[in-house]
Chains A and B, each alone.
Chain A
Amino acid sequence: NAGVTQTPKFQVLKTGQSMTLQCAQDMNHEYMSWYRQDPGMGLRLIHYSVGAGITDQGEVPNGYNVSRSTTEDFPLRLLSAAPSQTSVYFCASSFDRRAGSPLHFGNGTRLTVT
């Protein structure tokens, strides 16, 4: 049982490049989400999904796309990277979105856009 797995751990992009951050969970969790964390700030929600085939925007969705084709995977796509997207990205999941259940985080991806 690996929990929430994020890849890569580190990434450097040039402005305008695109890439996908991978997130997978093996706990059969219904709910998955992506947060970004910037220095001195808390975590801000980018996108979330309440089940396969269902996604929605969070607080800071611009410049990012997501899809949820399976229960296990929830990739985050940066369409055209900008320096403002330099951040640490966390994927999280929980079992039951309706009742509320503990949120489990991956170890993060540190992204630098030059």
Chain B
Amino acid sequence: GIQVEQSPPDLILQEGANSTLRCNFSDSVNNLQWFHQNPWGQLINLFYIPSGTKQNGRLSATTVATERYSLLYISSSQTTDSGVYFCAVPHMRGTSGSRLTFGEGTQLTVNP
């Protein structure tokens, strides 16, 4: 199956700082998603982004499928951004379905 690596594993920021989280994957994909797990354990879908760039408020994501990576940008971070950020891709090359393999996540802590 496709392997997913996220970096950095941990990130500590002061409120107001910007950050970039990276997701590398080992094969071609046509489906990539970013999730945020908040400190209460809820998993929220941030972006469905197989290619290109999307923005949602202070968050944006870019996937460069040909180079097998995706980036999640968080600008002007707030304490509510704390939690774990996961990226996920299809289990096997050539499948666009929803059976996803998750990376191990980036633990983000935003301090006031």
Contacts and interface: CB of A to CB of B under 8 A. Distances in A.
Interface of A: 31, 33, 35, 40-45, 48, 50, 58, 88, 90, 92, 94, 96-105, 107-108
B33 interface: yes
B41 interface: yes
Given A50-B97, A102-B45, A42 B33 contact: no
A43 B96 contact: no
The 3 A-B pairs at the shortest CB distance, nearest first, are namely: A100-B31, A105-B43, A100-B96
Contacts of A41: 104
B42 interface: yes
A45 B86 contact: no
Contacts of A44: 102
Contacts, number: 65
B102 A31 contact: no
Contacts of B50: 100
Nearest to B40: A107
Contacts of B30: 100
Contacts of A102: 33, 45, 48
Contact of B97 (A42, A58, A97): A97
B98 A94 contact: yes
A33 B101 CA distance: 12
Nearest to B9: A40
